[in-house]
Structure 1
Amino acid sequence: MNLRSLRCFLAVAEELHFGRAAKRLALSQPPLTQHIKNLEAEVGAMLFLRTKRSVRLTDAGAALLDEARRLVVQADGLRHIVQRAHEGRSGYLRAGFITSSVFTEIRKFYSKISRGVPGVTVMWQEMSSSEQIEALHEDKLDIAVLHMPAPHPDLVARTIVREPMVMAICDVHRLAGRREVRLQDFVGDDFVLPLRHMSPIFYDSIIAACRNAGISPTIPPHQARNLLTILSLVSVGAGVSVVPRTLASAGFPGVVFKRLRGQVPINEVSVVWRADNRSPVLARALQALGLTRP
Structure 2
Amino acid sequence: MTSLAGVRCARAHQRTPGGRRCEHPPLPGAVGQDDHHSSPGRIDSVTAMADTRGTSYPGIRQLRLFLLLAEELHFGRAARRAYLAQPTFSRHIRSLERQLGAELVDRTTRRTELTDAGRALLPRIREVVDAAERLRTSARHHAAAGRMVIGSFEAVTSMDPVPAIMDELHRLIPDVDVQVLRTGFDSATAILRGDVDASFVFLPVPEGIQTCTLAAGARCAAMSSSDPLVSEGPLRLSDLSDHEHIGFGPDIPAVWRDFWSVNPRPDGTAVRYSPHAVTDYESALVLIAMGKGIQLPPESARWLYPRSGVAYVDVVDLEPWRLALAWLPKNRDKPTVAALRQATRTVLRRQADLWPWSAPVRWCHHGWRAGEAHLRTEGESVADRKNQMIVLGVVVVGVLWINGRGDVETDGDGKSPNPRQTGRYPVHFQNDGGKKDTGKNTKKPVPRSTVSYPIKFDRK
Provide TM-score, normalisation by structure 2: 0.40
Instruction: Tell me the residue number matched to 1:276.
Output: 330
Q: Residue 132 in 1 paired to residue 196 in 2? A: no
Residue identity opposite 2:224 in structure 1: C
Q: What is the CA distance between 1:267 and its match in structure 2?
A: 2.2
Q: Residue 120 in 1 paired to residue 176 in 2? A: yes
Residue identity opposite 2:254 in structure 1: P
> What CA distance in whole angstroms lies between the structure 2 residues aligned with 1:213 and 1:259?
20
Return the match for 1:205 from 259, 272, 295.
259
Residue pairs, 1:18-29, within 5 angstroms: none
Q: What is the CA distance between 1:225 and its match in structure 2?
A: 0.3
Q: What is the CA distance between 1:103 and its match in structure 2?
A: 5.8
Instruction: Tell me the residue number matched to 1:265.
Output: 319
CA root-mean-square deviation: 2.9
| Structure with greater proportional strand content | 1
Residue pairs, 1:186-265, within 5 angstroms: 186-195=240-249, 197-208=251-262, 211-213=265-267, 215-250=269-304, 251-261=306-316, 263-265=317-319
Return the match for 1:143 from 183, 186, 198.
198
Instruction: Tell me the residue number matched to 1:98.
Output: 153
- Aligned to 1:289, the other structure's residue is in SS state helix
Question: In the superposition, relative to structure 1, how do residues 166 and 270 fare at CA in structure 2: closer, same or farther (>3 Å)?
Answer: same
Residue identity opposite 1:243 in structure 2: P
Q: What is the CA distance between 1:224 and its match in structure 2?
A: 0.8
> What CA distance in whole angstroms lies between the structure 2 residues aligned with 1:201 and 1:280?
30
Provide TM-score, normalisation by structure 1: 0.60
Deviations 1:28-72 (A, max 9, x none): xxxxxxxxxxxxxxxxxxxxxxxxxxxxxxxxxxxxxxxxxxxxx
> What CA distance in whole angstroms lies between the structure 1 residues aligned with 2:225 and 2:161?
26
The structure having more radius of gyration, on CA atoms, is 2
Q: What is the CA distance between 1:161 and its match in structure 2?
A: 2.9
Higher relative contact order (CA 8 A, sep 6+): 1
Q: Is the 8 A contact 1:170 1:237 kept in 2?
A: yes
> What CA distance in whole angstroms lies between the structure 2 residues aligned with 1:150 and 1:92?
26
Q: Is the 8 A contact 1:87 1:280 kept in 2?
A: no
Unaligned 5+ segments in structure 2 are: 1-137, 347-363, 369-460
Question: In the superposition, relative to structure 1, how do residues 209 and 203 fare at CA in structure 2: closer, same or farther (>3 Å)?
Answer: same
Instruction: Tell me the residue number matched to 1:180.
Output: 234
Q: Give the share of equivalent positions with the same residue, in percent.
A: 16
Instruction: Count the aligned residue pairs.
Output: 206
Deviations 1:119-175 (A, max 9, x none): 221122233223223224xxx4221222321332xx421112322321111111111
> What CA distance in whole angstroms lies between the structure 2 residues aligned with 1:120 and 1:210?
44
> What CA distance in whole angstroms lies between the structure 1 residues aligned with 2:151 and 2:261?
26
Q: Is the 8 A contact 1:88 1:279 kept in 2?
A: no
Unaligned 5+ segments in structure 1 are: 1-82
Q: Is the 8 A contact 2:244 2:271 kept in 1?
A: yes
Question: In the superposition, relative to structure 1, how do residues 163 and 131 fare at CA in structure 2: closer, same or farther (>3 Å)?
Answer: same
